[in-house]
Amino acid sequence: MPELLIIKPSALRDIVHGLQVAATIKTQQPDWRISWIGRDIFAPLVRACTAVDHVFVFRRNEGARGFLQLMHEVRQREFEVVMDFQGLLRSGLMTKWSKGRRKLGRSDAREGAGLFYDEKVPLPPAGRQSHPLEILLQFCPLVGAQPEWHGPLQFRQLNRLNLAFMEPRHGLKPVLIFPDSRRAERKWNGFGQFTALLIREAGRKVVWAGNTYVPCKEVFPAGTFINLTGNTSIASLAALIAKADWVIANDNGPMHLAAALGMKTIGLFGPTDPRVCGPYPLNSPTNYAIQAPVGDLTLLSAKEAYARFRRIEGLVRGERVASLPPFAR
């Protein structure tokens, strides 16, 4: 059984894209055994993905000691192919010290990482303006697979968690919202008012989630709103998303995970271009992006976002609705 090692320690959105590539390879080359180097905080998600057979855990907070321990474990196994999806100095060093017959890396690698590759994977025709997943899919032909996305990600034991709070209301599963973003310019501050509209006008149940606490100043009737921000683990993320009707988020990792799971997904975009980094596949009937006027999220009102959501929702249900505004796709 040929062994493949993928190096992608972080961040969540990039790991999701990497897992989609692993799943694409696994679908076309089922004999490959895929191992993964990932940070400890993301390891539970990677370990649960059915495309990955083994995870080497990188404990970044342990510094040089953690790095050396990781490489000691990795070097116990010989790989047919090592792929560096990260393209930075640290991942380049991981590639160098891994035992692999072929070592593949990104042609746009930085920090000198390219010095450690036997082969550099070319960018798609659109170059750096390509979607990040399409860039990583270019690794596939080097192991005899087509660079084509092969459907939703699968995760083990999605139903093992007790998520009773995600039960439907009025026959509809909750709308799951991820209101945080690591970058201020990508964080929309209208989710409180938007949630109020969902609950009061659409009769929906809304759940907020994420690893950073985001307060909500609105007050809602009992049983209509749950705020899990600051109390959402990586291990529960896929199961939580799978229980939702819609997932609505800023341009962040959970949005990409929702799209990778095949969920109905809407991303809210400010300065980033949804045609380049929107929920993938960009033309999926369940994936949508709403971009703020002139790329400024402070100019996107809750009422406008809610109106667009209702039009998108109607479109997905097959209703005849007014045409969607630019970038709503």
Q: With beta carbons less than 8 A apart as the criterion, state whether 170 and 250 touch.
A: no
Other CB atoms within 10 Å distance of the CB of residue 236: 17
Query: What residue segments make up the domains of the chain, in order of their start?
Result: 3-143, 166-316
pLDDT, mean of residues 17-22: 98
Q: pLDDT tens digits, residue range 30-82?
A: 999 999 999 999 999 999 999 999 999 999 999 999 999 999 999 999 999 99
C-alpha 26/C-alpha 267 separation (Å) is 28
Q: pLDDT tens digits, residue range 237-268?
A: 999 999 999 999 999 999 999 999 999 999 99
User: What are the CA-CA distances from residue 7 to residues 11, 213, 296 (Å)?
Assistant: 12, 30, 35
pLDDT, mean of residues 112-134: 95
Backbone dihedral region of 73: left (phi > 0), alpha (psi from -120 to 50 degrees) or beta?
alpha
What is the architecture, at CATH level 2, of domain 3-143?
A: 3-Layer(aba) Sandwich (3.40)
Q: With beta carbons less than 8 A apart as the criterion, state whether 4 and 33 touch.
A: yes
- Token representation of residue 127: 């170059």
Q: Which CATH entry fits the domain spanning 166-316: 3.30.870.10, 3.30.70.260, 3.40.50.2000, 2.40.10.220?
A: 3.40.50.2000
**The whole model's pTM is what?**
0.94
Q: Provide the pLDDT for residue 319.
A: 67
Q: Provide the pLDDT for residue 157.
A: 81
Q: Considering just the CA atoms, what is the radius of gyration of the chain in Å? A: 20
Q: pLDDT tens digits, residue range 142-161?
A: 999 999 998 899 999 887 78
